[in-house]
Amino acid sequence: MKDSNLQQSTGPSIRRRTLVMAAAGACTVGTAWGQAAWNPQRPLKLIVTYPPGGGADVTARAFTDQLGNKLGQAVVIDNRGGAGGAIGAEVAYRAAPDGYTLLWGNADILTIAPHLFTRLPYKPNEFVPIGPTAAVAFVLCGRGDIGVKTFAEVLELGRKKELSFASWGNGSPGHVGSEMFKTMGKVPSVLTVPYQGTAPAAQALLAGQVDMMYLPSPLFLAMESKVTTFAAAGKQRYDRFKQVPTMAEFGVPVDLEVWQGLFAPPGTPKPVIDRIASALTEVSADPAIRKKIEELGVVPLASSQEEFAKSIAPDAARWGEIMRAAQVKPQA
């Protein structure tokens, strides 16, 4: 795996940690299925919990063709945006556990949301993890005519006036990041404006409807010339855009790195999980796919299903600590 700052902080957690309930779910085998190998007989549906064009959608589409080739059936993306990813997550959660509906899961809906909402329409720890796919960085950017050029200047601006932040729903890294900017940057107030996904939020930033946004790395690389770049929201500078300083360099240690991965509905039998996990492992090892992912500013991740399952609970604990430090209160 390519050495990178993003992998140093996010990748190892994907490989080494434990989530007992999810791992147990992955081992559930229905008697009707037995232990025979499973091969799909019709196309699979992959639920992406944000609209087309956003960071999660772009990354998912980089995998689907090859994943379908390995499985012998097409993998078709079904974008179910809204409610910070909760709508799509609920659809996947309630889907038949037969292998034909999968979830492009991420930290937003599985390890961040449980700390932000007292009730969710799905149970994050009951999804069956299949494997990690990518780790995504974020860059804090402003509208082109915001009038300041450095992160130090935007901090001063935020202490003089309320800045508006576009987010892709309550509970998203964009929402959490705005609260971290306020608390850690000692800014009196921010206004978070939720949109249905990262792509609509980014369009609002380009149109000057909001002041700021944490752009996921694929969108940042596509929009860099049209926005004002302030700082990356990570512990260290990233290989793909080393010219961008981190917020931590200015004494505001905001770290929003998140992972993405493939999940199945609760109760999906082990032969199904094993078949899809095997196909995903082959796709993740393909040099052409890895290059495609890296060109998006995203770090490819790969591990066994068991290692991936072990990583999730500690990541949830990490986000709990972040929420408390940012003084983010759970919502009903």
Mean pLDDT by 10 residues, the chain (332 residues): 41 36 37 67 97 90 96 97 92 98 96 92 98 96 97 97 93 90 95 92 97 96 96 90 95 93 98 97 95 90 95 94 82 73
What is the model's pLDDT at position 11? 44
This prediction's pTM: 0.83
Contacting residues for 24 by C-beta, under 8 A, at least 6 apart: none
pLDDT tens for each residue of 131-183? 999 999 999 999 999 999 999 999 999 999 999 999 998 778 999 999 999 99
Q: Is 181 helix (H, G, I), strand (E, B) or coil?
A: helix
The whole-number pLDDT of residue 35 equals 56
Reported residue count of the chain is 332
Tell me the per-residue pLDDT of 110-133, one tens digit each, with 9 for 90 and over: 999 999 888 999 999 999 999 999
CA-CA-CA-CA torsion sign (194, 87, 219, 111) = positive
d(CA 40, CA 72) in angstroms, rounded, equals 7
Positive or negative, the CA dihedral 171, 175, 181, 186 is negative
